[in-house]
Chain A
Amino acid sequence: MVQASVAVNDLTKAYRYRRLFSGLSFVVEHNTVFAVLGSNGAGKTTLLRIICDLVPPTSGRVEITTDGRQFDAAERRAILGLVSPDLELYGELTALENLEFFAGVRGLAFSREKARELLEYVGLKGRGHDFVFTYSSGMKQRLKYAYALYHEPRILILDEPTSNLDSRGVALVEEVIRRQRERGIVIMATNEQREVSYADRTLSLA
């Protein structure tokens, strides 16, 4: 069994001279759901983006290891999955084409069967051939889960996991988090009481 862990070490981030957080350190072990809480502007999203290597920290580092081996940027991409409000999928492509493209740039073989199953799992059965721009925002959110899960990441990062979702969507997210917990790590940024209750550990950003 592959053991993943995320270690955040003395992390500081400042935007244009304004400090968001400083000296942040924590370790998330395998089989953990970790929730980051905090008011608007506290830096939750920025923290997740730093973990995903989308934004550089002002100082400090994030170490992602599996089985004690550290990962470089390229390998990191292979084991991370992200669902976030500022991530969008291609509106001019269909849902299946989106999944096919992302499998392609990751260098994975695309399996139509697997993609269909995944779409069914996230509640988009029968909509795989529709253009994404015709989707409602809730459907787009569901598709983002398919995008984030296709390559079976060890670490799933969720920013506002249930935004735009109906009650069945919320149940889906709970299911995704539960399944991911078995497989690795979930790190999410949220303020919803219900989502916080899924977490094994929480961190509050002032």
Chain B
Amino acid sequence: MFWQTVLGIWMAAVIGASFLLVPPTQGLGELGRIVIYHVPAAWVAVLAYLMAMANSVAYLRKGDLRLDRQAQVNAELGTVFCLLATVTGAIWSKAAWGWYWNWDPRQTSIFVLLMIYGAYFVLRSAIPDTDRRARLSAVYAILAFLTVPFLVFIVPRVYATLHPDLVLIAREGRQLDMDVPMLLVFLASVAGFTGLYFWLYKVQTGLENLLHKQALKRGEEL
């Protein structure tokens, strides 16, 4: 209970600070605030997807169904945060560039991630047997993930990007400058989102494990 309270207060403080402490950014104006939510959401999506991938590989090596449930939870959380990042990104895109969607390389890659995990969930729902589902969906997750680096190479060859880079990975002319208070709020938000992810992950895996145990019990009663 203690950590949930801390997390709640922390996130509330981040939200407040994003409106009160963060100044309008140069070039992007008031819109720049969205970076406080958009980037951490995207970061958590990538983190969760990487975890799902690691779980899938581990499942194929060890065959422990708990790992499969973890992969599923991570894929679900990744998708939720990925949707948040996509929506916040689209809103910002509309305000800054005048359209919600224009197949910017970043939009393309996030869209492909959503497609991959959309297909992943469809595949899972199409296989009733637990072992088989775990195995086949792990193979699919690995295969799909392997193709992502190709996109990173090919997409910019076809479409030019307008996406602003963060200061940390900035290139000439397109960086998003952050002053000290903004950077602090931003980092606090990243920490908050990450904490939120771990908390959701714990709750969800706990729930899935309980459901599994219950089903096992019911099976034994049969």
Contacts and interface: CB of A to CB of B under 8 A. Distances in A.
A19 B219 contact: yes
A16 B128 contact: yes
A15 B215 CA distance: 12
B131 A17 contact: no
B68 to A, nearest CB: 14
A56 interface: yes
Nearest to A55: B131
Contacts of B220: 17, 19
Interface string A12-37: 00111111000000000000000000
A47 to B, nearest CB: 17
A206 to B, nearest CB: 14
Interface residues on A, range: under 10
Interface of B is mostly: helix
B179 interface: no
B216 interface: yes
B129 interface: yes
B222 A16 contact: no
Contacts, number: 16
A17 B131 CA distance: 11
Contacts of A18: 219, 222
A14 B215 CA distance: 12
Contact of A56 (B131, B215, B216, B218): B131
A18 B222 CA distance: 7
A16 B129 contact: yes
Contacts of A56: 131
A56 B63 CA distance: 11
A17 B128 contact: no
Interface string B189-222: 0000000000000000000000000011011101
Nearest to A14: B219
Contacts of B215: 17
A158 B130 CA distance: 28
Contacts of A16: 128-130, 219
A17 B216 CA distance: 5
Interface in A16-71: 16-19, 56
Nearest to B217: A17
9 contacts: A15-B129, A16-B128, A16-B129, A17-B216, A17-B219, A17-B220, A18-B219, A18-B222, A19-B220
Interface of A: 14-19, 56
